[in-house]
Amino acid sequence: MPKAVLFDVDGTLIDSNDLHAQCWVETFRRFGVDIPVEQVRGQIGKGGDQLMPALLPAALLEQEGDAIADFRLKLFMRSYLSRVEPFPGVRPLFERIRSEGGLIVLASSGSRDEVDHHVETLGIGDLIVAATTSDDAESSKPAPDIFEAALGTLPETARAGAVVVGDTPYDAQAAGKAGLPTVGLLCGGFPEADLRAAGCVAVFADPAGLLGAFERSPLGAPS
């Protein structure tokens, strides 16, 4: 199997994509912009630095961008974070990877506080090498920065042949720019056709589905 696996978090390990979309809609309304949740949902997987320019008027973004991002983060932490649920099978999947000698790094567009919370909720802190977040990248997905930062936490011998697991086209696009193949998961709500068009080399239902098909997945392929 690959010597390292880089995992996205939101929508891949935890059921949070719809909550993020709802939080952005609520935030935008606070600043006088009404955007349908379906339109926002298609942008989930990007960090705020990429999502807001795709949805907001340039003038508002220039004037209020920092305030909007700050309000969104505080609102999510206060009103949405407690509603996030883990997908089944995450820890057993991580245990299987570790038992095969693979290293695991989380690579999320979320904030450090969000990711730390999710690591604790998932009970995977003892199974990961590191967790990179928006704090570690100049630009979020679909830019490659977060995956490049994640690679930088690994021993040089583990970087070649690393594989990404994510749930959005933006994960696959970012990974591709970093020279990494992506295994897609459908649990984030994006169609399989969109994941494959973005570059996913294989697609499974969710972490439990990937674990069930481990030996025939890219994670189980001979290194």
Q: Are residues 69 and 94 in the same domain?
A: no
Tell me whether residue 222 is in a domain. no
Q: Are residues 160 and 207 in the same domain?
A: yes
Q: Which residue range is the domain that position 151 belongs to?
A: 4-16+85-216
> Looking at residues 47-54, what average pLDDT do you find?
94
> Looking at residues 136-146, what average pLDDT do you find?
93
Q: Are residues 66 and 51 in the same domain?
A: yes
What pTM did the predictor assign?
Answer: 0.95
Mean pLDDT of the chain: 96
Q: Are residues 89 and 181 in the same domain?
A: yes
- Residue among 86, 107, 205 nearest 164 (CA): 107
Please report where in the chains the tokens 């994960």 appear, as a residue: 171
Q: Are residues 67 and 107 in the same domain?
A: no
Q: Are residues 212 and 124 in the same domain?
A: yes
Q: Are residues 154 and 54 in the same domain?
A: no
Residue-wise pLDDT for 13-39, tens only, equals 999 999 999 999 999 999 999 999 999
Q: Are residues 93 and 176 in the same domain?
A: yes
- The count of structural domains within the chain is 2
Q: Are residues 30 and 46 in the same domain?
A: yes
Residue 185, pLDDT score: 98
> Looking at residues 137-147, what average pLDDT do you find?
93
User: What angle in degrees, to the nearest 10, is found between the helix axes of 17-30 and 48-55?
Assistant: 60
